[in-house]
Amino acid sequence: MKRSALTLLSLFAASGIGIPQENLEAFQLKSDDSIIFVGNTFFERSQRYGQIETAIELAAGPEITGLKFRNLGWSGDSVFGDARSYFGAPKEGRDRLDKGMTELKPNVLFFCYGTGAAMSQGTDWTYEKTAQNRAAPTSFEAGLASFLEGYGQLIDRSKAAAGTQLREVVLISPPPLENLGAPLPDQFTNNKNIAKYRDAIRDLAKEKGAKFVDLFAAMGGDDFSGDTANPPLTDNGIHYGNAGYEKIGSALVTGLGMKLPEGLVDDTVQGKVAELRDAVVKKNRTFFHRWRPANETYLFLFRKHEQGNNAKEIPMFDPIVKEQESKIGELRTAVFEAARKG
């Protein structure tokens, strides 16, 4: 991993890190696209920083407007949907995700899975195998095969649920882990295993006709060392913080073959970018409460006889999200105007 984080989006994009893969040349966004992020902790945590979404907003350019981002990341999730269910088997969680796909009607789907599976080193990391009375993975290779089976099924099911307007599917490799020193573990072996999952995910993307972004390589993971950046990019060696997601956002858009606008170095423009990112974070927080409300058991499930009358308030988040998206549109226009004048 690089020992210094470049904190200016435009400088990072110009560095050439995250060279586009061959099958990414045709990637494009269109005005009013609905863009969904699906994955585990990596994507769920990203919404609190807003870096990935802000980078995509800016890289799309001023002529692309009305982009709508929805984050369906779920901490601890696997490709089998283990974490998304509340009281039932993983199928409950998969059905929940399918329902979200159908309702949100995405044009672009981003997936990122693999870190947890790679770190399990062949142990039984998914409830699904046990529930089906199938043999649990007993080796790294068996675990990888199980992961690929589940990932392929997830992609196929998501495509079917999303509908015919779905245009782009992108698989993102897990980013590398980082060494922060004792008492936290050394990540050398884990990074070697993640690299193997990265290679397999690249092949799966080709098989499924999806695009692929090698975030592992773009973030410097191929030396496997996990050397700490300055400042650190993760909180604990695994989960990225704001500095990490800033770098990831730049690596992702560059890996997609997109280019961030020139002029972002100016202090005035940086201030506008910060305002835009704050608005993105606020919108993400509102949508999170819309799609994962607190006390859902009381609102929709087996205790709804107690407080189910409050369920009518959940759709009331929708106009608030829409209003916040209008503000995001105004702020991104302000960024482009300031960059042009600068």
Contact yes or no for 40/73 (Cβ under 8 A): yes
Q: Which H or E run contains 310?
A: none
- Render pLDDT for 82-95 as a digit per residue (tens, 0 to 9): 899 888 888 888 99
In degrees and rounded to multiples of 5, residue 68 shows phi and psi of -120, 120
pLDDT value of residue 82: 85
- Render pLDDT for 190-207 as a digit per residue (tens, 0 to 9): 999 999 999 999 999 999
User: How large a percentage of the chain has pLDDT more than 70?
Assistant: 85
User: How large a percentage of the chain has pLDDT more than 90?
Assistant: 64
pLDDT value of residue 156: 97
Residue 291 lies in a domain: no
Residue 322 lies in a domain: no
**Mean of pLDDT values over 91-114:** 95
Radius of gyration of the chain (CA): 20
pLDDT value of residue 134: 57
pLDDT value of residue 140: 87
**Mean of pLDDT values over 95-105:** 94
Residue 282 lies in a domain: no
- E strand segments, the chain: 34-39, 68-71, 108-112, 168-172, 211-213
pLDDT value of residue 312: 80
Question: Of 283, 310, 252, which is closest to residue 68 (Cα–Cα)?
Answer: 283
pLDDT value of residue 308: 66
In degrees and rounded to multiples of 5, residue 66 shows phi and psi of 75, 25
pLDDT value of residue 152: 96
Residue 338 lies in a domain: no
319-to-18, 47, 65 alpha-carbon distances in Å: 37, 19, 19
Residue 198 lies in a domain: yes
Count of C-beta atoms within a 10 Å radius of residue 305: 8
**Mean of pLDDT values over 168-178:** 97
Residue, of 26 and 278, whose pLDDT is higher: 278
Contact yes or no for 216/114 (Cβ under 8 A): no
Model confidence, pTM: 0.89
How many domains does the chain divide into? Answer: 1
11-15, 136-140, 251-255 — most confident range: 251-255
Q: Which domain range does residue 229 map to?
A: 9-260
**Mean of pLDDT values over 136-163:** 90
> To the nearest whole number, what is the mean pLDDT of the chain?
86
pLDDT value of residue 87: 82
Residue 164 lies in a domain: yes
Q: What is the CATH number of the domain that holds 128?
A: 3.40.50.1110
285 pLDDT band (50/70/90 cuts)?
A: very high
74-83, 178-187, 226-235, 279-288 — most confident range: 279-288
pLDDT value of residue 314: 77
Residue 227 lies in a domain: yes
261 pLDDT band (50/70/90 cuts)?
A: confident
pLDDT value of residue 299: 63
Residue 97 lies in a domain: yes
